[in-house]
Chains A and B, each alone.
Chain A
Amino acid sequence: MAGVTTEAQLVELAVSGDAAAFRELVVRHQSVAQRAAYVATGGLDVEDIVQEAFAKAFVTLNRLRAGEAFRPWLVAIVFNEGRNRLRSSDRRAALTARLGQVLPVVPPSAEDAALQAAERAAVLAAVNTLGDADREIISYRYFLDFSEAETAQALACPPGTVKSRLHRALTRLRTTLVEEKAG
């Protein structure tokens, strides 16, 4: 779009009904939306979730407050959609199987490979047993590489709260891992 470079300008234009501006937002953020949908559901309904999230974003774009970034706001919508798709426990149980299957292993040695793969699998399985809030904050920080500020915006909480929630989520994750190992 000629003369338009900032996201804030694109959002303002899109709010006023400029489809080309919204298209540019889609171009810029479709990758992170797909990644978030993938993380949220283990690959279930990714394209549907992303389409639905952008459609909702278009309709509610005027709710994005001045100074807020589009990306965290969009990803929060994606996670919400993902949660809705995972309401049934059958789908939730499939999370580990789906995510576990698509992680490639690049080992330095055969023995290390086995140890590292087992370690990753154990951590991933433990993450997928956590409650939605814990799993999402871990996803924002480690799987989507969101900053603390972006995570705070997405979760509509202060950065300090992100720190404390993340600390609690990691503590629960460690507890789960210890219990799994002992059991």
Chain B
Amino acid sequence: MTRLEDILRDLGDRLTAPDRDLVDTIMNRIPQLPRLLRRPVGGTTSGHECPLPHRAVRHE
């Protein structure tokens, strides 16, 4: 490994990035997304909303 790469790895080792517990904050956002993205699937008569907005689901 070259001297420059040594220094780069050293810089990486010294980085003091934040490491907070953001799990609850992140998960509190997630349930909102499907509600925003839900759309009635075209062609249905019941107006059934697809529970998986991020997938194209064919409704019979």
Residues of A at under 8 Å CB distance from B? 15-17, 19, 22-23, 26-27, 30-31, 34-35, 37-39, 43, 46-47, 50-51, 54-55, 58-62, 99, 102-104, 119-120, 123-124, 127, 138, 141-145, 170, 173-174, 177
Which B residues are in CB contact (< 8 Å) with A50? 22, 26
Which A residues are in CB contact (< 8 Å) with B2? 170
Which of A19, A23, A143, A174 is the one whose CB lies under 8 Å from B4? A174
Which B residues are in CB contact (< 8 Å) with A55? 26, 29-30, 33
B60 interface contact, C-beta 8 A: no
| Min distance, Cβ A146 to any Cβ of chain B, angstroms | 11
Q: Which interface class (under 10, 10 to 19, 20 to 34, 35 or more) fits B?
A: 20 to 34
Main SS of the interface on chain A? helix
In angstroms, Cα B4 to Cα A27, docked, is: 34
Which of A27, A61, A143, A170 is the one whose CB lies under 8 Å from B12? A143
Residues of B at under 8 Å CB distance from A? 2, 4-5, 7-12, 14-23, 25-27, 29-31, 33-34, 37, 51-55
| Min distance, Cβ B57 to any Cβ of chain A, angstroms | 11
Using CB atoms, name the residue of chain A closest to B26: A54
Which of A16, A38, A143 is the one whose CB lies under 8 Å from B11? A143
| Min distance, Cβ A164 to any Cβ of chain B, angstroms | 16
Which B residues are in CB contact (< 8 Å) with A138? 8
